Amino acid sequence: MTKPIIADDAALDQAVHLLRQGRLVAFPTETVYGLGADAANAEAVGRIFAAKGRPADHPLIVHINGAGRLDDWAEFVPEAARRLAERFWPGPLAIILKKRPHVPDAVTGGQPTVGLRVPGHPVALRLLEKFGGGIAAPSANRFCRISPTTARHVEEELGNSVDLILDGGPCKVGVESTIVDLSGARPRLLRPGRISRVQIEEVLGVGLELAAKAGSLNVRAPGLMAVHYAPSTTALLCPSGDIWETLRQLIAQGRRVGLIAYHRAVLPPGLAHTLHMPAEAYDYAQALYAALRETDNLGLDMIVIEQPPESEAWHAVNDRLRKATVPAGSAIPGS
Ligand code: TXA
Ligand code: MG
């Protein structure tokens, strides 16, 4: 079992040594922890898929240490990409561009594009700098599980299959990066994140097409799959106004129910567990995956999540909540 180690200079040197040998290193980013391998080494990248249990046609994001490296990986870097990089990197934004021929198919899932990002975490940046090359890294969880936001979560998920876990403390953003696809005729938002659609549109000067509305996707993007990020306990997303009655019914059916609450409303007696979430969107996002994981680990019959606000600032949170839950109403009657 691999235990997390504090990401000091000696640990970073060890990480670089392992990456050069084609081994797997989990490391902190500002969004979630990543499971990293040398992006130029197809065999090393293959180990990521084996460790995660992830299908091989799902593409990975390549982490680089500055926008100056874009041309190492992308065949063509449009002006729009340079402007986004200038404004938001290092930071929680990934950009999809046409790939250069040498980028391994193992990284891109055989697609003609590559996802690139400069992470805004000092440990990730120092690691990239010492390593020199690109590090391919998906979130450091098993396929279809909740992304890790602490080194302990990584140990829980992948302790048996990762060679080193660098501990850089809890992730500040808490949900995965915003993904913008600039490889086609019009820019598209593939995954909402901390950097909002409006912030990106301001820099681009044009509207973003939304992936969900973009018609037939020819890309297998796990972030777009309905069952991604799910806890193993059935989770229900419930409007605030229905919380009391929903909980009352579930408890009356004898179910052991955990609540992830937003408002501090009056709650019916008999809840097995209650967790109160922060009121502000960024704080909520930071706490979200740990809250889901903690509640999931209690072995309850059901998790009820009170719907937080649905304004623009909450876009990423609501996207992840929808993917972690079944629609309200579908899980209540005696099933
Ligand atoms: O915040 C993040 O982006 C984290 C940290 C570790 O950097 N990484 C992350 O990776 O969330 P992952 O693999 O869990 O999600 C990456 C997403 C997937 O939905 C993948 O399909 C999409 O990026 N992606 C990567 N390359 C792509 C490409 N060439 N075309 C379309 N989607 C791509
Ligand atoms: Mg992931």
Measure the CA–CA gap between 150 and 167, rounded to whole angstroms: 8
Q: Is residue 50 situated within a structural domain?
A: yes
Polymer length in residues for the chain: 335
Measured in Å, residue 170 CA sits from the centre of ligand 2 at 17
**pLDDT at position 133:** 97
Print pLDDT tens along the chain (335 aa).
999 999 999 999 999 999 999 999 999 999 999 999 999 999 999 999 999 999 989 999 999 999 999 999 999 999 999 999 999 999 999 999 999 999 999 999 999 999 999 999 999 999 999 999 999 999 999 998 999 999 999 999 999 999 999 999 999 999 999 999 999 999 999 999 999 999 999 999 999 998 764 444 444 454 555 555 789 999 999 999 999 999 999 999 999 999 999 987 788 999 999 999 999 999 999 999 999 999 999 999 999 999 999 999 999 999 999 999 987 666 554 43
**pLDDT at position 334:** 40
Measure the CA–CA gap between 254 and 270, rounded to whole angstroms: 9
Q: Is residue 249 situated within a structural domain?
A: yes
Measure the CA–CA gap between 279 and 259, rounded to whole angstroms: 16
Which CATH number covers residue 177? 3.90.870.10
Q: Is residue 134 situated within a structural domain?
A: yes
Residue 16 sits in the same domain as residue 157: yes
| 4-6 vs 164-167, strand pairing mode | parallel
Ligand 1 atom at shortest distance from the alpha carbon of 60: 25
Residue 258 sits in the same domain as residue 206: no
Q: For the chain, how big is the Rg over CA atoms in Å?
A: 20
213, 246, 268: which is the final residue of a domain?
A: 213
Measured in Å, residue 173 CA sits from the centre of ligand 2 at 14
For residue 37, what are its two tokens?
Answer: 């391998």
**pLDDT at position 328:** 66
Residues having CB within 6 Å of any atom of ligand 1: 29, 31-32, 34, 58-61, 94, 96, 108, 111, 113-115, 117, 119, 137-139, 176-177, 179, 190, 219, 221-223
Q: Is residue 76 situated within a structural domain?
A: yes
DSSP string, 144-206: TSPPPSSHHHHHHHHTTT-SEEEE--S-SS-SPPEEEE-SSSS-EEEE--SS-HHHHHHHHSS
Residue 189 sits in the same domain as residue 305: no
Residue 188 sits in the same domain as residue 271: no
Q: Is residue 155 situated within a structural domain?
A: yes
In a 13 Å sphere around the CA of 263, the CA atoms on its Cβ side amount to: 14
Residue 93 sits in the same domain as residue 204: yes
What domain count does the chain have? Answer: 2
Q: Binding site annotation covers 177?
A: yes
Ligand 1 atom at shortest distance from the alpha carbon of 147: 14
For residue 301, what are its two tokens?
Answer: 């019959």
Q: Look at ligand 1, atom 32, and give the residue with the nearest C-alpha.
A: 221
Residue among 57, 75, 179 whose CB has most ligand 1 atoms within 8 A, to mutate: 179
Contact present, 24 and 47 (Cβ < 8 Å): yes
Which CATH number covers residue 257? 3.40.50.11030
Measure the CA–CA gap between 277 and 155, rounded to whole angstroms: 25
Measure the CA–CA gap between 223 and 167, rounded to whole angstroms: 25
**pLDDT at position 305:** 97
Query: For the chain, first and last CA: distance in Å?
Result: 38
Residue 59 sits in the same domain as residue 134: yes
For residue 211, what are its two tokens?
Answer: 């992936």
**pLDDT at position 182:** 98
CA-CA distances (angstroms) from residue 156 to 142, 226, 254? 10, 24, 30
Paired residues of 236 in beta bridges = 304, 326
Q: Look at ligand 1, atom 21, and give the residue with the nearest C-alpha.
A: 221
The ligand whose atoms approach the alpha carbon of 149 most closely is 1
Residue 150 sits in the same domain as residue 243: no
SS3 231: coil
SS3 114: strand
- Backbone phi and psi for residue 205, each to the nearest 5 degrees, phi listed first: 75, 10
Residue among 29, 35, 45, 61 whose CB has most ligand 1 atoms within 8 A, to mutate: 61
Query: Quick one: CA torsion of 235, 241, 242, 245, rounded to 10 degrees?
Result: 120
**pLDDT at position 149:** 98
**pLDDT at position 215:** 42
**pLDDT at position 91:** 98
Residue 263 sits in the same domain as residue 170: no
Residues spanned by the domain of 266 = 235-331
Measured in Å, residue 191 CA sits from the centre of ligand 2 at 11
